[in-house]
C-alpha cells in the first residue's frame, strides 16, 4: 500500500460502521496540515494549516488546503480540533471560517489564544471550546480525548477519536523530550492505555522519521546559549520563531543571569510573547523586558534583542538588519544568536542572512557552529518506541514529504506491522477504516489553493506557469497596425519587451516572419483581428525559438487602421 493512486476515482458512499479519513493537506509536503474525519454523516477536522511557498511559486503569500470537498457539507462539520498553535496547523482557519464562521474550534488554552489573535486580524470572533489534557468531549459521533504532547510550542495535544468504527489516535506534531522545561511530558502512559484499549488507526508525525536516534532535550541547549550571553562583548541579538516560547524562555533566563535587559522586535514576536506572558507560559522576571527605545539608552553589554526572521524571510527584522535596511545597525561588537531550525527550502535565504551579518562584523552563532537548536519532532527512535508501546492495528504516517512518510512507514513495518496495514498516501486519498482494516477507496480534490496579495484562489497553476515563463524568458508585446482591407501592415510593428535582456530592436528582424504570416492569412481569407493576433503570436514565437533559442511570452495586439 505504499504507492500513489493516480487511478483512483471518487470514493463510494461511506458505510455506517466505517470511519473515513481524508488528508486534505500535509501528506506529501511539510505544511498545510489538515485531516478530515467522516462518520455517520458528520465531519470532524483535525488542524487547518498553511504551507509557505517555494521560489518557483513567485508572488504567493501562503498556500491553503482545497476546501472544495467541504463546501457542500459545511453544516456537517462538528468542529476543528487544533493540536497546537503553529501556522502550518492553524493558519488556514480564517479562510475556512470565512465559509462558515461558527464552526467550533477545539484546542488548548495557548492554541486558542493564538488562533483568536489571528482571527481578530481577519475580524472574525470564533466559537471556541477550550480543553486540557485528560478532557473528553463528544463532538457529534466523535468521542474525543485529549492527550498532552511535547513539541516546540507549549500546550500541544494529541487527540484520540472514538467512533463505532474504531479508535483513531492522532499525535499532531510531537516529540518525547524527557526533560521538558515546563515538565509537561508527552503522556506515554495515556498512549499505552489507549494501546491496551486497542488503537485501530495511529496517525503519526513523520517530519523526523529519517533522523536516526532521539531528539536532544531542549534544556541541553542551555550551555551554548549561556556561553553566548556570558562572552558576548556587546549586544546579543537573538532570532527565533515567534512561537517558540521555551527557547525564548531560555534566552530570557540567560539574559537575566548575565544582567542584560531584553526587548522584543517584530510584530508577531511582540504579540505572541504578550499572549504567552499573560497566560503564564512565559516567566518574565520583573524589569527584564523593556521597550526598544529604553534599551537604546543602555550600554551594549546590557542589551538583548529578540526578533523574528530566523528563516531569512526578507521582510523580517533579522533579514533587514543583515541587509542594512533596519533601524538596528549591525556592527563589529554584535553577536547574533540564531536559535532556530533551518526549514528545508530556506537554506539559501538563511545563508544570505548569515553572510550579511558576518560581513557587517557580527559574530553569528547558529546551529551549524553551536548547539543552539533542537528539533520539535520525534526522531526515528522515538517513533519506534511509540509503535511498540501502542501496538496499533494500522499506522498512517502524516506530516511530511513523501520521503518522510515512507521512512515513517518503514519504521512501523520494522516493529512488526504488515505493509497492508501501513497505508502511505497522498493528500486527497480517501482511506476507510472498517472492521479493523484500512482500505484506500478513492480520491478527492486536494490541490494547492494560492493566496496572493490577500486574494484566495486568484492565482492558478496556469498563472504560476506564466509567471515562471515570464521570469525565465521575459515578454514581448507586438503592436501591429493593420489595414482592414488589404490585411497588411500599415507601418512596421512596434515591439515592447520586458525582462528579455535584449534590445527591443532585436525584434525588427522578426518583421518578415510577421509579414509572411499576414500574407498567408490574406490568401486563406482570414481577416478577423483575433485570428490575425494568433498568427502573429505564432510567427514571433517560432522566430524567437528558431533564431535565438528563446521562448518569451508573446502578446500580439492588432489595431485596425
Enumerate the active-site residues.
Answer: 205, 377
Task: Determine contact, residues 354/366, Cβ cutoff 8 Å.
Answer: yes
Beta-sheet strands, E only, within 257-400? 261-265, 303-307, 335-338, 363-365, 394-398
Nearer to a second copy, 27 or 269 (CB): 27
- 142-149 and 136-139 strand pairing: antiparallel
Could you tell me which stretch among 106-114, 151-159, 223-231, 357-365 binds a second copy (CB under 8 A)?
357-365
504 binding a second copy? (CB under 8 A):
no
Question: Which helix (H) or strand (E) is 449 found in, with range?
Answer: strand 449-452
Nearer to a second copy, 128 or 406 (CB): 406
Q: Under rule CB under 8 A, which residues in 157-186 are in contact with a second copy?
A: none
Question: Quick one: which of 345, 385, 515, 522 contacts a second copy (CB under 8 A)?
Answer: 345
Cα-to-chain-centroid distance, residue 228: 31
Q: What is the largest CA-CA distance in the chain?
A: 88
Q: Under rule CB under 8 A, which residues in 425-454 are in contact with a second copy?
A: 450, 452-454
399 binding a second copy? (CB under 8 A):
no
Q: Is 122 annotated as a binding residue?
A: no
Q: Is 173 annotated as a binding residue?
A: yes
CA distance 118 to 109: 14
Nearer to a second copy, 279 or 343 (CB): 343
Distances (CA, A) of 516 to 169, 485, 487, 527, 542: 69, 17, 11, 14, 13
384 binding a second copy? (CB under 8 A):
no
Least distance from a second copy to the Cβ atom of residue 303, Å: 22
* CB-CB neighbours of 494 under 10 Å: 13
Task: Determine contact, residues 467/450, Cβ cutoff 8 Å.
Answer: no
Q: Under rule CB under 8 A, which residues in 195-234 are in contact with a second copy?
A: 210
468 binding a second copy? (CB under 8 A):
yes
Least distance from a second copy to the Cβ atom of residue 151, Å: 23
DSSP state at residue 14: P
542 binding a second copy? (CB under 8 A):
no
Q: Is 84 annotated as a binding residue?
A: yes
Least distance from a second copy to the Cβ atom of residue 470, Å: 4
Total binding residues toward a second copy, as defined by CB under 8 A: 63
Could you tell me which stretch among 11-19, 102-110, 139-147, 364-372 binds a second copy (CB under 8 A)?
364-372
CA distance 376 to 398: 15
Distances (CA, A) of 406 to 28, 143, 205, 386, 442: 10, 30, 12, 17, 20
Q: Is 246 annotated as a binding residue?
A: no
Give buried/exposed letters for 88-125 (b at 16+ CB in 10 A, else e): bbbbbbbbbbeeeeebebbbbbbbbbbbeebbeeeebe
Q: Which residues pair with 27 in a beta bridge?
A: 400
Q: How many residues does the chain have?
A: 561
Least distance from a second copy to the Cβ atom of residue 336, Å: 12
Least distance from a second copy to the Cβ atom of residue 407, Å: 8
Least distance from a second copy to the Cβ atom of residue 403, Å: 5
516 binding a second copy? (CB under 8 A):
no
Least distance from a second copy to the Cβ atom of residue 260, Å: 25
Question: Quick one: which of 474, 504, 515, 526 contacts a second copy (CB under 8 A)?
Answer: 474
CA distance 127 to 106: 9
Q: Under rule CB under 8 A, which residues in 39-98 are in contact with a second copy?
A: 54-56, 58-59
- 429-434 and 437-443 strand pairing: antiparallel
Residues annotated within the binding site for Zn(2+) are 84, 86, 88-89, 151, 173, 399
Q: Which residues bind a second copy (CB under 8 A)?
A: 2-4, 28, 54-56, 58-59, 210, 344-345, 347-348, 351, 354-355, 358-359, 361, 364, 368-369, 401-403, 406, 450, 452-455, 458-460, 463-464, 466-468, 470-475, 477, 479, 481, 494, 496, 498-502, 548-550, 553, 555, 557, 559
Amino acid at each position: 500500500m505504499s504507492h500513489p493512486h493516480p487511478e483512483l476515482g471518487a470514493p463510494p458512499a461511506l458505510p455506517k460502521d466505517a470511519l473515513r479519513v481524508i488528508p486534505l493537506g500535509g501528506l506529501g509536503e511539510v505544511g498545510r496540515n489538515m485531516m478530515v474525519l467522516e462518520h455517520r454523516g458528520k465531519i470532524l477536522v483535525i488542524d487547518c494549516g498553511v504551507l509557505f511557498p517555494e521560489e518557483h511559486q513567485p508572488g504567493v503569500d501562503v498556500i491553503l488546503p482545497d476546501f472544495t470537498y467541504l463546501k457542500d457539507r459545511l453544516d456537517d462539520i462538528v468542529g476543528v480540533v487544533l493540536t497546537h498553535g503553529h501556522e502550518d496547523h492553524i493558519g488556514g482557519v480564517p479562510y475556512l471560517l470565512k465559509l462558515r464562521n461558527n464552526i467550533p474550534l477545539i484546542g488548548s488554552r495557548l492554541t486558542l489564544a493564538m488562533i483568536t489573535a489571528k482571527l481578530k486580524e481577519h475580524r472574525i470572533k470564533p466559537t471556541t471550546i477550550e480543553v486540557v489534557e485528560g478532557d473528553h468531549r463528544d463532538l457529534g459521533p466523535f468521542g474525543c480525548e485529549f492527550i498532552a504532547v511535547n513539541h516546540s510550542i507549549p500546550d500541544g495535544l494529541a487527540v484520540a477519536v472514538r467512533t463505532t468504527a474504531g479508535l483513531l489516535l492522532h499525535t499532531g506534531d510531537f516529540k518525547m523530550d524527557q526533560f521538558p522545561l515546563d515538565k509537561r511530558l508527552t503522556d506515554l502512559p495515556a498512549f499505552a492505555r489507549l494501546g491496551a484499549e486497542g488503537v485501530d488507526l495511529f496517525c503519526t508525525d513523520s517530519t523526523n522519521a529519517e533522523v536516526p536516534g532521539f531528539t536532544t532535550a531542549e534544556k541541553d541547549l542551555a550551555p551554548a546559549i549561556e556561553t553566548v550571553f556570558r562572552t558576548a562583548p556587546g549586544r546579543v541579538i537573538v532570532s527565533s520563531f515567534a512561537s517558540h516560547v521555551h527557547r525564548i524562555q531560555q534566552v530570557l533566563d540567560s539574559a537575566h543571569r548575565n544582567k542584560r535587559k531584553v526587548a522584543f522586535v517584530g510584530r508577531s514576536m511582540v504579540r505572541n510573547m504578550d499572549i504567552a506572558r499573560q497566560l503564564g507560559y512565559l516567566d518574565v522576571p520583573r524589569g527584564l523586558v523593556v521597550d526598544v527605545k529604553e534599551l537604546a539608552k543602555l550600554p551594549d553589554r546590557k542589551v538583548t534583542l529578540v526578533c523574528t526572521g530566523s528563516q531569512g524571510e526578507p521582510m523580517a527584522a533579522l533579514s533587514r538588519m543583515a541587509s542594512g535596511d533596519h533601524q538596528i545597525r549591525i556592527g563589529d561588537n554584535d553577536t547574533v544568536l540564531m536559535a532556530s531550525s533551518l526549514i528545508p527550502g530556506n537554506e539559501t535565504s538563511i545563508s544570505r542572512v548569515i553572510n550579511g551579518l558576518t560581513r557587517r562584523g557580527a559574530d553569528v552563532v547558529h546551529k551549524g557552529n553551536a548547539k543552539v537548536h533542537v528539533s520539535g519532532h520525534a526522531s526515528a527512535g522515538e517513533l519506534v518506541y511509540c509503535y511498540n508501546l501502542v501496538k496499533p492495528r494500522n499506522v498512517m504516517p502524516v506530516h511530511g514529504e513523501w520521503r518522510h512518510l515512507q521512512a515513517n512507514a518503514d519504521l512501523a513495518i520494522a516493529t512488526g506491522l504488515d505493509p497492508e496495514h501501513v497505508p502511505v498516501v497522498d493528500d486527497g486519498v480517501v482511506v476507510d477504516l472498517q472492521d479493523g482494516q484500512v482500505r484506500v477507496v478513492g480520491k478527492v480534490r486536494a490541490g494547492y489553493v494560492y493566496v496572493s496579495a490577500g486574494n484566495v484562489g486568484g492565482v492558478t497553476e496556469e498563472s504560476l506557469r506564466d509567471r515562471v515563463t515570464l521570469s525565465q524568458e521575459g515578454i514581448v508585446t507586438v503592436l501591429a497596425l493593420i489595414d482592414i482591407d488589404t490585411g497588411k501592415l500599415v507601418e512596421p510593428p512596434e515591439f515592447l519587451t520586458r525582462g528579455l535582456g535584449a534590445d527591443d530592436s532585436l525584434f525588427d528582424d522578426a518583421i518578415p516572419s510577421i509579414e509572411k504570416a499576414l500574407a498567408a492569412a490574406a490568401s486563406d481569407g482570414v481577416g478577423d483581428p483575433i485570428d490575425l493576433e494568433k498568427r502573429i503570436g505564432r510567427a514571433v514565437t517560432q522566430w524567437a525559438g528558431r533564431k535565438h533559442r528563446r521562448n518569451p511570452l508573446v502578446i500580439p495586439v492588432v489595431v485596425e487602421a
